Amino acid sequence: MTQDILNTSVREFVAATAAKQPTPGGGSVAGVVGALGTALGEMALNFTIGKKKFAEHETFYATLAGRLQKSQAMFMTLVADDMAAFGMYCDANAMSEGPEKTQASELALAAAIDVPREMTKLCLAVLSDLRGLADKCNPWLISDLVAGGILAAATASLCDLNVRINAKNLEGPQRDEILAASAADRKRANVLAAEIEEMAKSSL
């Protein structure tokens, strides 16, 4: 199912998301949105590389290109991981009561929290990269760069929601620490997206 979803057309993915089925859901959509935001940053970079005006930044561009390509691939991996985490949850629920079910449920819960937390960290890395490009980007592509930042920040917000809905099943300080870290990362993502847009104002 996971591989089928990753190989579908945009139209098919949208239809599958709308269907009365658990996956793809919010976590999978978040990963796709993050990948698209990264792709917009890559496009802005590709239309900047080779421009005489920005020749002094070619070394930076080469490094950034590799980072963004890797980030886009990682988002796709996290889409698969999110669907796998839900599969673990379903498998645990289908088990008979006992120690094995308890352990399986705990692992499924950990995966349901870890995947969006990893996705958020990736969002912050991408936003930092896009911010680094904002003042050395082809001005005709600056709106795409800003849009990429907005999508990355939106992905972080979606991840925070997923963490919150799952972390409520935890107890004690661990839950509070996870929720606080997730909220702080969401805020940081929004700040970075706003900084990218502010840096681009002169070209918009």
pLDDT tens string 102-154: 888 888 888 999 999 999 999 999 999 999 999 999 999 999 999 999 999 99
Structure tokens at 57: 């930044």
Per-residue confidence (pLDDT) for residue 105, from 0 to 100: 85
The rounded Cα 106 to chain-centroid distance in angstroms is 24
Q: Is the pLDDT reported for residue 76 higher than 80?
A: yes
3-state secondary structure the chain: CHHHHHCCCHHHHHHHHHCCCCCCCHHHHHHHHHHHHHHHHHHHHHCCCCCHHHHHHHHHHHHHHHHHHHHHHHHHHHHHHHHHHHHHHHHHHHCCCCHHHHHHHHHHHHHHHHHHHHHHHHHHHHHHHHHHHHCCCCHHHHHHHHHHHHHHHHHHHHHHHHHHHHHCCCCCHHHHHHHHHHHHHHHHHHHHHHHHHHHCHHHC
Name the maximum alpha-carbon separation found in the chain: 67
φ/ψ bin of 85: left (φ > 0), alpha (ψ from -120 to 50), beta (otherwise): alpha
* Domains by residue range for the chain, with CATH: 26-203 (1.20.120.680)
pTM: 0.93
Give the C-alpha separation, 11 to 22, whole Å: 18
The answer to whether the Cα torsion of 16, 17, 22, 26 is positive or negative is positive
Question: pLDDT tier at 2 (50, 70, 90 boundaries)?
Answer: low
Q: Is the pLDDT reported for residue 185 higher than 70?
A: yes
Question: pLDDT tier at 31 (50, 70, 90 boundaries)?
Answer: very high
How much is the average pLDDT of 147-168?
A: 96
Question: pLDDT tier at 62 (50, 70, 90 boundaries)?
Answer: very high
